[in-house]
Amino acid sequence: MTDTSANTPTASANFIAKIIQDDLDNGRVTQVVTRFPPEPNGYLHVGHAKSVCLNFGLAEQFGGRCNLRFDDTNPEKESQEFINAIKDDITWLGFQWAGEIHYASDYFDQLHDWAVNLIESGNAYVCDLSADQAREYRGTLTEAGKPSPYRERTVEENLDLFARMRAGEFDEGAKVLRAKIDMASPNMNMRDPILYRIRKVHHHQTGDKWCIYPNYDFTHGQSDAIEGVTHSICTLEFEDHRPLYEWFLANLPVPAQPRQYEFGRLNLDYTVTSKRKLKALVDEKVVAGWDDPRMPTISGMRRRGFTPRSVRNFCDMIGVSRSDGMVDVAMLEHALRDDLNKNAPRAMCVINPLKVVIENLPADYLEMVTADYHHELDLGARDMPFTREIFIDQDDFKEEYSKKFKKKFTPGKRIRLRHSYVIEATSYDKDEQGNVVLVRANLIEGTLGTNPADGDNPKGVVHWVSASHGIPAELRLYERLFTHASPDKTDGDFMEYVNTDSLKVVTAWVEPALANVGPESNFQFEREGYYVSDRYDHAADKPVFNLTIGLREDKSLTEA
Ligand code: ATP
Ligand code: MG
């Protein structure tokens, strides 16, 4: 069920896989069914990627299926935009959900009928306490709650009131439907939890059909049961909800008995992974949108130049455990760099150009030199125009030779132009500020692909772009979005730790082949870093590349 082009092993031996194996071995289940249940109230982030890889990965590993179910019980905060983005993200990661997409709202009729069942069996009642009163009655962790004065309403009265709630007779907040469980339970979730609220809002799937909506707890387990989910895998904060999940399954005529298992959330340093906070970054225009390349959203990472394989490898590396932990963002960067190092084509881009005039070539000299895109993989080749005037990086030229700079270009010394000839510097010009602005050189004949015949071999190899045929490109250089390792775990507001200098835009020179690549093409710009052509803005007449990550571990996302 997985696109093998992303060919990554996912969800190998983790504790949930062991549980599933046991269930298959002892016959509790014959086919594994999992589900990924996002609420469409924002874009998916890197934490969701862990859950996606786990749920789809387990289904794949055990030859089962994984449903995509939108958990859409909060219509005010949800939208079709988010639904579409979530579908795109899952597909991009290389997973395919089983059959049609499901919506919890598909089950609103059934859930309503089951709410009526609970009333009929004396297990639910309509309560008129205000939110403040209900909080008071609920008690605390150390103190039992008190029964609501409405708890002993008769079945008939409850049926009548619930029908009138549904018919729109009451205002929002005037009444709720609650389960009748145990106001003294040490588990607060069991103290007569709310099942339905009145909300007179339009729903993106069901329109204006409903003015009462079930809450998460009353929806989730029953949706799992309807879909025949065998293993309902969620994050640890739902551990305390499990007794309630099981109470509904035990007290309703559901068609199956799914089981809930919890695992630890992914937290990454220098990163916020809460949809609410990510939404604030978007709403307050700190970033350009949910898919800004600085965002830890899947679509932001995609635009930044992450590959599906790098994200899946990362999820594999961090594993799945029973506790929440903080993962070093360097692990994510490692997974990314490792994949790009192995698989990204190489190309040439000069960011800080210094013009070199090769004086023993005619003014109109043009030779196409062929260069492989990768030194190990067969990724094809391109022709690069080699001309009399070229750009090299400013830092690759030094006015004076020294041992420290023996690989650099200096007057009287030679350098190899990558994929091209050896040249020797003769003289240079400086501007009034003392910056070297032009270097003159001679080409050493017969050095395309071989060393000079006179044995005076160059020590260094530099990247270059033809000055007359190269193309100016916009480079967007990104840094970390936060200056604090735990921006949302300090006493202050996480917004205080936004790196206000996280995007720099510069113009660079790229070889002509780079103008013609499609969007989302990953490259290693030799000796510069990993870049990707922008998903939306890159065009042949205006190339735009995003910095994905620096070349080395120590030059991580924080440095260009
Ligand atoms: P957020 O906390 O960002 O608002 P959420 O839990 O409300 O996220 P959902 O759309 O309900 O978001 O999540 C869908 C699934 O993804 C759930 O099963 C949830 O447990 C899981 N998930 C969300 N965040 C993480 C995370 N950081 N690590 C692992 N799984 C996560
Ligand atoms: Mg949630």
- DSSP 8-state symbol, 496: G
Residue 536 alpha carbon to ligand 2 centre in Å: 30
Integer Cα distance of 303 and 484 in angstroms: 23
234 lines ligand 1 (CB under 6 A): yes
- Asked whether the beta carbons of 148 and 134 are under 8 A apart, the reply is yes
pLDDT tens track for 176-214: 999 999 999 999 999 999 999 999 999 999 999 999 999
Of 16, 44, 48, 324, the one to substitute when testing ligand 1's pocket (max ligand atoms within 8 A of C-beta) is 48
35 lines ligand 1 (CB under 6 A): no
Select which of 39, 157, 389, 559 is catalytic: 39
75 lines ligand 1 (CB under 6 A): no
Is 166 known to be catalytic? Answer: no
44 lines ligand 1 (CB under 6 A): no
Residue 503 alpha carbon to ligand 1 centre in Å: 28
275 lines ligand 1 (CB under 6 A): yes
480 lines ligand 1 (CB under 6 A): no
**Residue length of the chain:** 560
Is 39 known to be catalytic? Answer: yes
Strand-pairing partners, residue 545, are 475, 533
Residue of 4, 7, 5, 12 lying closest to 316 (CA atoms): 12
Report the run of H or E that residue 437 belongs to, with start and end: strand 436-443
Select which of 77, 265, 407, 440 is catalytic: 265
Q: What is the pLDDT of residue 38?
A: 98
112 lines ligand 1 (CB under 6 A): no
Torsion angle, alpha carbons of 48, 54, 56, 62, to 10: -170
Measured from the Cα of 45, ligand 1's closest atom is: 3
Residue 37 alpha carbon to ligand 2 centre in Å: 8
Q: pLDDT (tens digit, 0 to 9) for every residue of the chain, 560 residues total?
A: 334 334 444 445 799 999 999 999 999 999 999 999 999 999 999 999 999 999 999 999 999 999 999 999 999 999 999 999 999 999 999 999 999 999 999 999 999 999 999 999 999 999 999 999 999 999 999 999 999 999 999 999 999 999 999 999 999 999 999 999 999 999 999 999 999 999 999 999 999 999 999 999 999 999 999 999 999 999 999 999 999 999 999 999 999 999 999 999 999 999 999 999 999 999 999 999 999 999 999 999 999 999 999 999 999 999 999 988 899 999 999 999 999 999 999 999 999 999 999 999 999 999 999 999 999 999 999 999 999 999 999 999 999 999 998 899 999 999 999 999 999 999 999 999 999 999 999 999 999 999 999 999 999 999 999 999 999 999 999 999 999 999 998 888 999 999 999 999 999 999 999 999 999 999 999 999 999 999 999 999 999 999 999 998 764 444 43
476 burial via Cβ count (<10 Å: 0-12, 13-18, 19+):
buried
Integer Cα distance of 435 and 429 in angstroms: 8
pTM of the model: 0.94
Integer Cα distance of 440 and 246 in angstroms: 79
Edge-to-edge order in the sheet of strand 522-525 = 346-347, 522-525, 529-533, 544-549, 471-478, 503-510, 349-350
51 lines ligand 1 (CB under 6 A): yes
Distances from the Cα of 34 to the Cα of 52, 58, 66, 533, angstroms? 10, 8, 5, 36
Strand, helix or coil for residue 368? strand
Contacts of 520 (CB under 8 A, 6+ apart): 302, 532, 533, 535
Of 44, 235, 267, 281, the one to substitute when testing ligand 1's pocket (max ligand atoms within 8 A of C-beta) is 235
**Nearest ligand atom owner, CA of 327:** 1
**Nearest ligand atom owner, CA of 39:** 1
Phi, psi dihedrals of residue 198, rounded to the nearest 5°? -85, 125
Query: What is the b/e burial string over 493-531, where b = at least 16 CB atoms within 10 angstroms of the residue's CB?
Result: ebeebbbeebbeeeebbbbbbbbebeebbbbbbbbbbbb
Query: What is the b/e burial string over 4-37, where b = at least 16 CB atoms within 10 angstroms of the residue's CB?
Result: eebebebbeebebbebbeebbeeeebeebbbbbb
